[in-house]
Structure 1
């Protein structure tokens, strides 16, 4: 496994590309990193962890973890790994085994979040608008407990 890169499941590649803002799409995100972090947060919130299966080799190709670090999102990969396996040793950057495990956990939660997004965005013309409605709906659904991850921080 290439621990220094975050992979995208092949069946979610088109969705990930469509979530990027461009002249051809109504995506709300500027980078693949932002898409994957949001998807992972959604997967975590809904406790949905899905193995990748076949991965995308082309766009989006595996995303270097340096891209996550440069945007300040590398800690979510480490914290998610530590939370998931309840072992602080997973934070070790010297052990390839731990890097692989952290990467796999993040990829699987992101894949679970992308699966949720596929269902939520099915038939949507404007992804930004639909995502906003999903976030507002989540916010109003229930009082969040202190242990829940708050997706409303993605509202601008």
Structure 2
């Protein structure tokens, strides 16, 4: 994480974790933390910028799609745990990319971002019908 923060110019460890969780989720890399390794992720620190909480919630909602109660305030710890496991998996994936490509972390990060845009084609416009597909107005 220190290498990512310094070499890839992430302003904070929180930013490293947010990026790593997105990478872990994208590559389906969910790796539990072993007990006694590092400190627990503090929710209030992690969600300081408003978009952070949205990412945490989106990951949890996608992991447990049939359980809308995962978004309940009593299950914040579960959402943080899910997020942490994807962040851990993302950090492992990034480390693997650095090792395999034999390049600095900053270049591996640039490649991962470029790959995400080229693979997905970037953001695409959606019609109202697509956005409301499956919505019931009962």
TM-score, normalization by structure 1: 0.66
User: Are residues 1:68 and 2:57 paired?
Assistant: no
Equivalent residue pairs, number: 120
Where do 1:1-156 residues align within 5 Å?
A: 16-21=1-6, 26-57=7-38, 61-72=39-50, 73-86=52-65, 87-93=67-73, 95=74, 98-122=75-99, 123-124=102-103, 126-140=104-118, 142-144=119-121
Choose 130-139 or 84-93, whichever is displaced more. 130-139
- The residue number in structure 2 matching 1:153 is none
Q: 1:106 to 1:90 in 2, by over 3 A?
A: same
SS at match of 1:89: helix
The structure with more radius of gyration: 2
Higher helix share: 2
Aligned Cα root-mean-square deviation (Å): 2.3
The offset of 1:143, in angstroms, is: 4.6
Instruction: Return 5+ residue gaps in structure 2 as ranges.
Output: 124-138
Equivalent pair of 1:28/1:127 in contact (CA under 8 Å): no
The offset of 1:118, in angstroms, is: 0.7
Work out the CA distance in 1 between the residues paired with 2:120 and 2:20. 22
Equivalent pair of 1:20/1:28 in contact (CA under 8 Å): yes
The offset of 1:71, in angstroms, is: 1.8
Equivalent pair of 1:40/1:112 in contact (CA under 8 Å): yes
Equivalent pair of 2:24/2:89 in contact (CA under 8 Å): yes
The offset of 1:62, in angstroms, is: 3.2
Equivalent pair of 1:33/1:63 in contact (CA under 8 Å): no
